[in-house]
Structure formats: structure tokens, C-alpha cells
Amino acid sequence: MSQRRLALVTFMVGIVIGTLGSAPVAEASRDAGFQRFIEALWPEAAKLGVKRATFDAAFAGVEPIRTLPELGPPNKTAVPGKGQAEFIKPASDYLKESRLQGLAKAGRAKAAAHGKDLAAIEQKLGVEGSVLLAIWGRESDFGRQLPKFGVIDVLATQAWLGRRQDYFRKELLQALLILEDGDIAVADFKGSWAGAMGLTQFMPSGYRTYAVDFDGDGRRNIWSSVPDSLASSAMELVKARERDGSDVSWQAGKSWGYEVRKPKRLDCTLQGFDKPRAIKDWAKLGYTRAYAKAWTAEQLDDPAYLLLPEGSDGPAFLVLRNFLALKAYNYADLYALFVGNLADRIAGGSAFETPWAKASHMTEAAIFELQGQLIALGHDVGKHDGKIGWRMRLALGKAEKTAGLPVDCYPAEDDLAAIMALAPAQ
């Protein structure tokens, strides 16, 4: 019997014989600070409707997992290589060709196996089956690589020790409500190091907002029901919102975007999700479709954003509103690009035409420092978090222009030295 199961059995026996009353488990070996954190959480949980028995059973035997990524004081960078893969891996590693090929092959097999459900989801919600299969493949390798952390364990750890304590505290309370609703047993409540759950990886708040019972068995089951999982992911896309609340809901019948060939006189500071232009206007600037494909008349009128994941090097993309819907599912550019390209391949599309530049990342600590220097110069880098997002690339390109550096909109060690020389003394 596992330690956690043993603790839960001991706790339940204590209730029966009346020796524990209503107090939470408090073994002498448990971390006193963590125990106080749990006890302080109870009034909030009770106010939301969580019963005491549910609360105590959820935390029976739970201890902080101090090896999780992104633990530490707020606004500090995590240990390099220990955080979210979308932000710590170079594009060439994250979008590895062999992996995309393997997932595309498996995805086509899943399309045949689940064709009826996929067609029903697309008819009802307007999201193509290839997109949902790509999310499933990226998130859990079609269910073959499901995370095994206890959801309560990781959310409690992150809410107590993590860099985003307020966020994870809210997710922890939502997880308790899932248990209160009886949707899953504590012993089966498994997820990732950040608490994401199921075949297509929902955070607890996402599950409670978007999860649907599509197979008609009376239960929203994202852990083992393929129809429920894929329909729930479709629901999140069709209700997608930006972080500021603006509507980026999925548009049926539209692509996520297109790989393009760059013009000879490339200005990488034209990239960004605040600079939409009709594709016909991008075409006037010299952007043409990869593999010499022609634009259709309908495509030419679509508003699109320039995406340069490796700055002036590597592939370029014109992405549409559906790309923003994918980013609402997971905010990283590389994640949305992975899902979009994989969906195309599952539907019969091609690999990237332009190879990735295999640019090596600076450490998160160095990027964090570079962001600080850019902020001191008055640039908007998005979050000051040590991660390379589109605002960071755009801010760097503008600073490179000012400094007289080669403008490539991608951070490197020489950028840090040059920008530090420009920034005012702090």
C-alpha cells in the first residue's frame, strides 16, 4: 500500500472511531509551515462549498514536492531547463522533426479510429478533427504519456512555494471543487507538475469551465474518454479569450496560419500580435507561401500577424486569429505552432520548408537580465519573466536598431552586453 493510501486509510479509520474530530491530518513528521498553509485554506474552500470530509480526504498524506519546477520567490527565474518546455527549449528541439513525423502518423491512425466522434464534434462546435488530434498528440502522446503527479500535491506545493502562488491557490480551490462534485476519486486525480489533467491537459479551472460530457454517460471524463476530452478541447477553443478578455474564439473553416518565405529586405520589427495586416498587404511586402503555393482570393483578405520565432533566422509565418485561440489554450508561440503544423500534417500537409536555425537559448537568468535592461530603456517586453515571447523579440529588435547592432530580434549574449551599455545606471 502506498504511503498516501495508507495515510488516507488511517485518516478514515480515525473518523470512524471518533479520535480525529474535524481537524486536518497533523502527523508530527509533516512540514509545519505547509500544514499551516493547508489549515489557512479551509475557510476559503468552505465558502466555495467544499465539505470538510472532502477537504480532509484531499489533503490526507499530502506533502510538498520540493523538486517541482518553478518553485521559489515570485518574480525570480526558475532553474534553467526545469520549467515549461515551450520557453526553455530552442525551436529546433521543441519542434523536432522526428517527433512531429511520429505524431502525425499516429494522428492519422487516430483519425480513422475516432472519425465518427471527430465529425460530430466538428459539426457541433466547428473545430476540425485534425486540430483536436494535434492537441491530444502534443499534450499526452495520444494518452501514452499521461502525467502521474497527484493534482492536489502539486497545486498545494506550487501555491505554497511557487513563483505564481495566487494563481495556483485559485487552481487548488478549483481542484477541491472537482473532488466535491465527485467527478473523480482522490487516488485517480493525477496531472502534470503544474496540475494540468487528462488526455488533453486541462487546469482545474479550465476543466470546470469547458469540460463537457460528449459520450453521453453522464460524466465529464477527460481522463479516459476520448470523445469527452476532444469535445472539451474544442469547447475551450470556441470560447477562447485573450488574457485581457478580448475574444479570440475559433473561426470554423479558417486555418491557424501559413509558413511563408521571407523577403530579401526583412524587417523583423514588423512581427507581433498587435500589427495585423491583410495577407495581400504582406504579399506586397514580399511574403510568399512556402513550397511556392498560391494564395487564394479568400486568403488574401484574411488579417494576419507576422511570426518570427527565431527572429530573422529560421522559418517565418503569417498566422491568423485561430493561432491566437491556440495560444489561449497554451500561451507559448511554439506550442501553438507545434499544434498548427501537426494538425496540417495529420490532414496531409507538409513539414516546415525552412529549417530551424538551431539557435541556442541564453539562460533564463540572462534573458531575465536582458529584459530588465530593455525595460530600463522604455521597451515593453511583456512579462519580465526570463522567457522569449513575441513582445520580447520585438522590443529587442527596436533596441538593436537604436544601438546600431544587426537587427535580428532574437536574444544573444552580445545583445546583453550592448544593451547594458545603453541602459541608464540603476
Query: What is the tens place of the pLDDT at every residue in 365-394?
Result: 889 999 999 999 999 999 898 888 899 999
Give the contacts of 113 (CB within 8 A, at least 6 positions apart): none
Task: Return the C-alpha cell found at 89.
Answer: 527549449
Task: Return the C-alpha cell found at 246.
Answer: 478580448
pLDDT band at 414 (very low <50, low <70, confident <90, very high): confident
Mean pLDDT, residues 275-286: 97
Residue 81 is predicted with a pLDDT of: 44
Q: Report how far residue 426's alpha carbon sits from residue 415's, in angstroms, rounded to the nearest whole number.
A: 18
Nearest partner of 282 among 309, 301, 298, 296, judged by Cα:
301
Q: For 82-104, how does the pLDDT look when each residue is reduced to its tens digit (9 = 90+)?
A: 455 545 578 989 999 999 999 99
Task: Return the C-alpha cell found at 142.
Answer: 495520444
Sheet holding 303-307, edge to edge: 277-278, 303-307, 316-319, 257-261, 288-289
Q: Report how far residue 88's alpha carbon sits from residue 71's, in angstroms, rounded to the nearest whole number.
A: 16
Task: Return the C-alpha cell found at 71.
Answer: 518553485
Q: Report how far residue 214's alpha carbon sits from residue 343's, in angstroms, rounded to the nearest whole number.
A: 22
Q: Express as a percent the part of the chain with pLDDT over 90.
A: 75
Q: Report how far residue 115's alpha carbon sits from residue 144's, in angstroms, rounded to the nearest whole number.
A: 20
**Plot region of 246 (φ>0 → left; ψ -120 to 50 → alpha; else → beta):** beta
Q: Express as a percent the part of the chain with pLDDT over 70.
A: 87
Q: For 5-57, how does the pLDDT look when each residue is reduced to its tens digit (9 = 90+)?
A: 444 444 443 433 333 333 344 444 468 899 999 999 999 999 999 999 999 99
DSSP codes of every residue in 10-64: HHHHHHHHTSSTTPPP--TTS-HHHHHHHHHHHHHHHHHT--HHHHHHHHTT---
Q: Report how far residue 238's alpha carbon sits from residue 134's, in angstroms, rounded to the nearest whole number.
A: 16
Mean pLDDT, residues 248-263: 97
List, in sequence order, every residue forming a beta bridge with 303; answer none if it has no partner: 278
Task: Return the C-alpha cell found at 345.
Answer: 500534417
Q: Report how far residue 251's alpha carbon sits from residue 126's, in angstroms, rounded to the nearest whole number.
A: 8
Residue 387 is predicted with a pLDDT of: 87
**How far does the chain reach from its first CA to its final CA, in angstroms?**
57
DSSP state of 185: -
